Structure 1
Amino acid sequence: MKKYSIDEVDRAILNLLLQNSDLSYQEIAERVFISPGTVHLRIKKMKQAGIILGSRLQIAENLLGFDITCFIGIFLEKSAYYETVADALEAMPEVVEVHYTTGAYSIFLKAICRDTAHLRTFLHDRLQKLPGVQRTETLISLEERFNRPHLLSDN
């Protein structure tokens, strides 16, 4: 895949969108000092290049009754199980992130559950019964201090 090169204007547009994806082309144009039409074209080019993958809605899961955020390290019996396990994880609504990692775990994931009973059922009845999963380690998050997008800089 060819690396797409962005300039300062593209970087400014991306940083504004990362901070607030609801901004209109007009609002972005006013902050970057270009026309709304130019904003539209640049965003379209970055989408076509695969830099902008879409936009996401963030919600406060805890206000909807999902009080447990946890991180789970999965030890696979062998690395050949990765694709099968990753596909199964993708189908589980509790799982919101999956990473294939180096180090102690083969897979590291983030999951969100209603409460400890839901987490227990998720772990015992579904995750740990997947073929290829040797064992898991679960870390429960007590507080998310911040969650921010990776803003682009020249560095």
Structure 2
Amino acid sequence: MDITDKKIAALLAEDARRSLADIGEAVGLSASAVNERIRRLAASGVIKRFTVDADHALLGLAVTAFVLVGLDYDAGEEAFKAFAADHPSVAECHHVTGGWSYLLKVRVRDLAGLETFLAELKARRFLSRSETMIVLSTAVERGFTLAEV
């Protein structure tokens, strides 16, 4: 992957609907050369998917929270990871260092939805302990960064 591939990935991250000609103009390639590079980036797994950056509040998911999870390992780590992968409220799940096992980014309709989600974690006995932080506002959120481009 060279600098041109990185620039193409960064341009697509800003706007996945950007035209091949527009990308080509930005990186100095023809549209067909850009298309071939995008195909190779997708085939190699560098580009995992093309997606939409939606306004979650307008979609009815007004509350974002981060949940630090101290996993109860008797419940099974694989079962927890499967739960997180399948649950529609979980936007992200990260295995972390320090005193916690996992960090979840959760999006729900309202505080009652967050309470329901936490109750579900407890009912499945995944938690030995947890700490929840509710997002008041978001100053910066990027789906993709590439500092050296």
SS in 1 for 2:53: coil
TM-superposed CA distance for 1:80, in Å, is: 7.8
1:107 aligns with 2:112: no
Q: Is the 8 A contact 2:61 2:110 kept in 1?
A: yes
**Quick one: which amino acid aligns to residue 24 of structure 2?**
A
Q: Which runs of 5+ in 1 are unaligned?
A: 1-5
After superposition, residues 66-77 of structure 1 pair within 5 angstroms as: 66-77=61-72
Counterpart of 1:63 in structure 2 is 58
Q: Hey, what's the Cα distance between the residues in 2 that align with 1:12 and 1:118?
A: 39
In 1, Cα distance between the equivalents of 2:74 and 2:34?
44
Confirm whether residue 128 of structure 1 aligns to residue 122 of structure 2.
yes
SS in 1 for 2:114: helix
Q: Percentage identity across aligned positions?
A: 32
Distance 1:116 1:103, change over 3 A: same
Number of equivalences:
148
Work out the CA distance in 2 between the residues paired with 1:96 and 1:45: 27
What TM-score, normalized to structure 2? 0.91
Alpha-carbon separation, structure 2, partners of 1:150 and 1:80 = 35
Extract structure 1 runs of 4+ deviating beyond 3 A: none
Decide whether the 8 Å contact of 1:79 with 1:106 is kept in 2: no
Two-structure CA RMSD over aligned residues (Å) = 1.7
1:10 and 2:5 are equivalent in the alignment: yes
Normalising by structure 1, what TM-score? 0.88
How far the C-alpha of 1:81 sits from its partner, in A, is 2.1
Task: Work out which of the residue numbers 135, 139, 143 in structure 2 matches 1:141.
Answer: 135
Q: 1:110, CA displacement in angstroms?
A: 0.3
1:20 and 1:72 map into 2 onto residues whose CA distance is 30
Unaligned runs of 5+ in 2: none
The answer to whether the 8 Å contact 2:75/2:125 transfers is: no
1:16 maps to a residue whose letter is L
SS at match of 2:65: strand
Give 1:90's aligned residue.
Answer: 85
